[in-house]
Amino acid sequence: HSMATQFSMFLPLLLLTFSSSSLAIRSWTKQIDLDNAGCNSTKFCMMRPRGCHPSRDCTQGYMLSVVGPNQLKVEMFAQSLVPSVPLQYLALGFSKDQIMGGDMVSECVVSETAVEGGEVFLSFNRGKSNDRVHFDDLEAEVVYSDIRSSVVNGRVSCSFIQSIRPQIDSTHGGRIWDLDQDFYIFGATGSSQPDEVNPHDLNRDSYYFPLISESAINPITIGNNVFHHPESSLSHATTRNQRPILTTTSPRPVAAASIVISLFSLLLPLTYFLF
């Protein structure tokens, strides 16, 4: 199979448990320049409708490209939901099959009002439940970088660099993976609240219904450039479990540009959204 914009539909249930020990990475920019140039060659692209332009007529889309040693660029975008909502999420899942469960997920939650920048989380699906992974400050900076988010002309966008082989000393209970292996790519968007996400559109005919790639891809093989990536550190890492959940504080948001750290508190609800 090619890396074309082929996708199929799926509707498994994904429960999200939002732990106060998850760490969000936040940043904001006026506009993200998105382009479908390179789709089928230097980029993996999954968009609706097929052949659409990310900055003009895509209702949602997801693009992956290898832009440097150990650097996978993730670009996610969607039309703002109607009716409008204060927060909208974009989520990209790396799965070993086309069934929800045992998947690593990168999530970006963006404010429609542009009051504050988008937040990026890493989480893991255990069966139909999902746990956000706790990173310390150094791990957060290693896994994600160059985070950007924007809301322009009714379009929500988020992009970031994700490490292909994260150079950290823990797999966090087996929930952090190297990305140099075959994955099915999941993509979804929907409304969110400050401490939880809501179900996405359940209508299979809707442009907001989730996407999944028809075939598995190895992100490290995207494009024509050959980069020398570092050796895997996760293969020698510990598998310590996620740190105990704190009941009063959440992990500290990190400003992508200045790495400004602050503490905030939030509740620990059990929430869900449907992929």
- C-alpha dihedral sign at 194, 81, 275, 123: negative
Choose among 100, 162, 159, 101: nearest CA to 126. 101
The 10s digit of each residue's pLDDT in 157-187 is 999 999 999 998 888 888 889 999 999 999 9
pLDDT of residue 214: 94
- Residue 2 resides in a domain: no
Per DSSP, 201 falls in state -
The 10s digit of each residue's pLDDT in 94-146 is 999 998 889 998 989 898 776 667 888 888 877 776 677 888 888 888 999 99
- Residue 266 resides in a domain: no
Which residues span the domain enclosing 147? Answer: 7-255
- Residue 218 resides in a domain: yes
pLDDT bucket at 26, cuts 50 / 70 / 90 = low
Q: What's the chain's Rg over C-alpha atoms? A: 17
Is pLDDT at 71 greater than 50 in this prediction?
yes
- Residue 96 resides in a domain: yes
pLDDT of residue 271: 39
What span, in angstroms and rounded, lies between the C-alpha atoms of 94 and 40? Answer: 19
- Residue 13 resides in a domain: yes
- Tokens found for residue 29: 């920019």
What span, in angstroms and rounded, lies between the C-alpha atoms of 43 and 221? Answer: 10
Q: Into how many domains does the chain fold?
A: 1
- Residue 263 resides in a domain: no
- Tokens found for residue 189: 């968007």
**Residue 171 belongs to domain with CATH number:** 2.60.40
- Residue 79 resides in a domain: yes
